[in-house]
A and B are shown apart, each in its own frame.
Chain A
Amino acid sequence: MDENSKTPQLDELETGPWPSFVTEIKKAAEKSEMSADLLGVLERSYEDKVGHWKHGGIVGVKGYGGGVVGRYTDLPEEFPNVSEFHTMRVNAPSGWFYTTDALRTVCDIWERHGSGITNMHGSTGDLILLGMKTEELQPTFNELAENGFDLGGSGSDLRSPSCCCGPGRCEYACYDTLDMCYDITNEFQDELHRPMWPYKSKIKMSGCANDCVAAAARADISVIGTWRDTIIIDQDAVKQYAADGLDIREAVVERCPTRCLTYDQETGELTVNGSECTRCMHCVNVMCKAIKQGEEKGATILLGAKSTIVKSAFMSWVLVPFMKMEAPYTEFKELVNRIWDWWDENGKTRERIGETVYRIGMGKFLREVGMEAVPQMVYRPRANPYVFWPQEEIFQEAAGQAEDQD
């Protein structure tokens, strides 16, 4: 270890085969005093084993209530260049497809205005510009906007939607995730830029149940591609897999969660009891040349995923078993507007929609947003008899019986 090094602990993280974030910060520090001071603050955190960023920070750009995360160091005298070190979230293109021209444009703007450090990308999907002074926020945004970029979400708003690469590069895509992500992001610009809700709300779109953007776990509204008819099996291709050495019984049939596949070793034919298939994707994943998804494609809408705070982590649960997903996605937009309106009325401060529905009850939620309860919504029915009966349902029933007697 270099004894004169000012960052002996961080230097240690420049060794080893995985690309080093320390090297990245040092690269940026050659041109930016902010990045140089970031190294200093970070080394101090490695010594002290605590963070050195002050609590909170409210900054932004004109016209918007979100998109920027304010940050100030608690060591401003020692590291004055990161006394203000805010993050700007830039809304990334669908599927994170870029041209080098577009990326170079962002790099040039960012180098002029900030630290030159980015995150490619934030977990929600935004391109993160990491570290800028307050006075640079508006000029940076202005230049980004002139070049066709906009900010992503932060705070109690619609966060930037994101999606898998979908039909751009995947034979499993059951709808156009890229187009839908672009369309709804544009449709809900107001909800994204001007926080007006009880808390954050996220939408993610995966083209199939492999769920490559983790929509089921990381979005309040999860759109997961599926199909309604039966998988299509190409027997010649099945035989080719067998000839190539795949143990179809062991690797495919035995792993099917509903045991709806049958493989005849003698004839080499694979058959499916289509109505029993839950479309988990396993057989398609293993034999993508031989097994195609059905032709009647769409998506399942699930609701409620969130992380731990406050009432434990939730995964999204089924709300609409099947919805056609075609531009301009009118049915989906009407549904999410009804859901958000209900949540806006009923949600407590900092209560994710999953927690609101959980607190108030699925039955009441479904009645109030005008949806039918279906068995696909649950793994199993309730085991306790504590049912809330809407009293008007009882009176209607009684009135109906009285009429029948007349």
Chain B
Amino acid sequence: MAMIDNGPPDFHEYLPTIIKENYGKWQYHEHPRPGVLKHVGPAGALYSIRVGEPRLMSVDSIRAVCDIADEFCDGHLRFTSRNNIEFLTPDEEKVLPIIERCEEMGYPVGGTGNSLSNIVHTQGWVHCHTPASDASGIVKAVMDDLFEYFGTQKLPNKLHIAMACCLNMCGAAHCSDISIVGIHRTVPRMDHEAIRKNTEIPSLVACCPTAAIRPDPKNKSVTVVEERCMYCGNCYTMSPGMHIMDAENDGLAIMVGGKVSTARSDPSFSRMVIPFLPNNPPRWPETVEAVRHIVEVWIENARQGERLGEWIERIGWERFFSISGIPFSDKLIDDYIFSRETFRTSSAFKY
């Protein structure tokens, strides 16, 4: 039997010399150009060249990336928390050749400073069993459309977009400037045979956020109170008999205004502004257009340095809807357990 409980490889062995020498002693950093960071410490400078990757990578592409790191970076590279690649070198003269090589190979350089960085996303139709949409396809369509903002730093502040293919919201969809979330809109279709055979019924009943699922002991299955169901799909996660996927009625919701850093304002959740857009593969034009529109409205109206959510909080959400022209509807008024605090308990508002 293989050795178990090895743990991960020791990162010390993977650090380039310049990092070992400056470890914990860095003094400051600069952005020499979009996609390039220069960190300075007592032992000298480190250049990091950041490039976008599709997250889903073949082994041959990883090897091609390794070739670049072998040629220019003494065999060192890292990946970022938004799934970009960073080539690491102390040698300023290698920065341009690395950029040229990356661009030749189709890896765009960017994602630093006031730019759109990579989209944190999930498995979608590539590998998951509960998605309401695909992930990789939408990400590709949105990044193609907003590509100019990846390689430049001309946004009011950084722009984090996240994509989650269902309400489990794996990743960062609940805390991003713009989030695209797969949603269902119809109640589960029950396969009582599959429920009987393959389900722990008490767990199935307990998993429902709105208590719409009731045990049906006579039938050795469950019933769904349809008017209580908001189609989250958590019951399908618990039971293969609760079919929630619905090709015609599944789609995407758009949420905006979340952030994680504490700079200036506290971390905040993203808020729903578009309750539904259709699944329209392979390019999802309605979703791509909606995201671009929000980005453009933000660029046009925000002050320099304002994250999307900070801008909206300053002007007020009613003003966000009037400026953007996005229709407001009852779907956007919270009716779940923490909803009351989202109602306006003041007569201070704008017309």
Using a CB–CB cutoff of 8 Å, the interface residues on chain A facing chain B are 9-10, 12-13, 15-22, 24-25, 27-28, 35, 38, 41-42, 45-46, 48-56, 61-64, 71, 85, 87, 91-104, 107, 110-111, 116-121, 123, 125, 130-131, 138, 141-142, 145-146, 148-150, 160, 162, 164-165, 167-171, 173, 176, 178, 182, 185-186, 189-190, 193, 209-214, 216-218, 251, 255-257, 278-282, 285, 288-289, 307-313, 315, 348-350
How many B residues touch the partner, as a band? 35 or more
A12 in contact with B282 given A64-B4, A214-B260, A308-B169 (CB within 8 Å): yes
Give CA–CA (A138, B125) in the complex, Å. Answer: 26
Select A350's contact among B29, B77, B203, beta carbons within 8 Å.
B203
The chain A residue with its CB closest to the CB of B208 is A310
Q: Is B14 interfacial (CB-CB < 8 Å)?
A: yes
Contact in complex: A116, B141 (CB < 8 Å): no
Select B2's contact among A97, A116, A146, A288, beta carbons within 8 Å.
A146
Contact in complex: B79, A121 (CB < 8 Å): yes
Give CA–CA (A217, B174) in the complex, Å. Answer: 8
A170 in contact with B39 given A189-B7, A349-B206 (CB within 8 Å): yes
Q: Is B161 interfacial (CB-CB < 8 Å)?
A: no
Give CA–CA (A150, B279) in the complex, Å. Answer: 38
Contact in complex: B15, A118 (CB < 8 Å): no
25 A-B pairs with C-beta separation under 8 A:
A13-B140, A45-B134, A56-B129, A61-B2, A63-B1, A99-B75, A100-B69, A103-B66, A107-B62, A117-B58, A123-B122, A130-B127, A141-B2, A146-B2, A149-B9, A150-B7, A167-B24, A168-B23, A176-B24, A182-B7, A185-B8, A209-B263, A210-B262, A217-B174, A350-B207
Chain B positions 56-101 with a Cβ under 8 Å from a chain A Cβ: 56-63, 65-66, 69-70, 75-81, 83, 85, 88
Contact in complex: B2, A21 (CB < 8 Å): no
Contact in complex: B6, A193 (CB < 8 Å): no
- CB contacts (< 8 Å) of A99 on chain B: these are 13-14, 75-76
- CB contacts (< 8 Å) of A255 on chain B: these are 264, 305
Contact in complex: A116, B174 (CB < 8 Å): no
Contact in complex: B120, A56 (CB < 8 Å): no
Give CA–CA (A100, B59) in the complex, Å. Answer: 12
Q: Is B283 interfacial (CB-CB < 8 Å)?
A: yes
Give CA–CA (A127, B183) in the complex, Å. Answer: 27
The 9 A-B residue pairs with the shortest CB-CB distance, nearest first, are A16-B144, A55-B240, A167-B24, A18-B143, A45-B125, A100-B66, A217-B175, A96-B79, A171-B26
The chain B residue with its CB closest to the CB of A379 is B266
Contact in complex: A178, B11 (CB < 8 Å): yes
- CB contacts (< 8 Å) of B115 on chain A: these are none
Q: Is B159 interfacial (CB-CB < 8 Å)?
A: no
Contact in complex: B8, A149 (CB < 8 Å): yes
Contact in complex: B62, A71 (CB < 8 Å): no
- CB contacts (< 8 Å) of A50 on chain B: these are 125, 245-247, 250
Task: State the main secondary structure of chain B at its contact with A.
Answer: loop
Give CA–CA (A195, B267) in the complex, Å. Answer: 31
Give CA–CA (A173, B283) in the complex, Å. Answer: 40
Q: Is B348 interfacial (CB-CB < 8 Å)?
A: no
Select A101's contact among B75, B126, B198, beta carbons within 8 Å.
B75
Distance in Å from the Cβ of B217 to the closest Cβ of chain A? 20
Contact in complex: A310, B136 (CB < 8 Å): no
Contact in complex: A315, B261 (CB < 8 Å): no
Distance in Å from the Cβ of B262 to the closest Cβ of chain A? 4
The chain A residue with its CB closest to the CB of B6 is A150
Distance in Å from the Cβ of B240 to the closest Cβ of chain A? 4
Contact in complex: B7, A91 (CB < 8 Å): yes
Distance in Å from the Cβ of B258 to the closest Cβ of chain A? 8
Select A97's contact among B14, B246, B247, beta carbons within 8 Å.
B14
Give CA–CA (A85, B123) in the complex, Å. Answer: 13
Q: Is B178 interfacial (CB-CB < 8 Å)?
A: no
- CB contacts (< 8 Å) of B206 on chain A: these are 348-350
Q: Is B54 interfacial (CB-CB < 8 Å)?
A: yes
Distance in Å from the Cβ of B161 to the closest Cβ of chain A? 12
Contact in complex: B28, A189 (CB < 8 Å): no
B14, B23, B60, B137 interface centre (most CB from chain A within 10 Å)? B14
Contact in complex: A119, B234 (CB < 8 Å): no
Q: Is B312 interfacial (CB-CB < 8 Å)?
A: no
A170 in contact with B1 given A21-B140, A309-B232 (CB within 8 Å): no
Give CA–CA (A93, B59) in the complex, Å. Answer: 18
Give CA–CA (A63, B65) in the complex, Å. Answer: 34
- CB contacts (< 8 Å) of A186 on chain B: these are 7
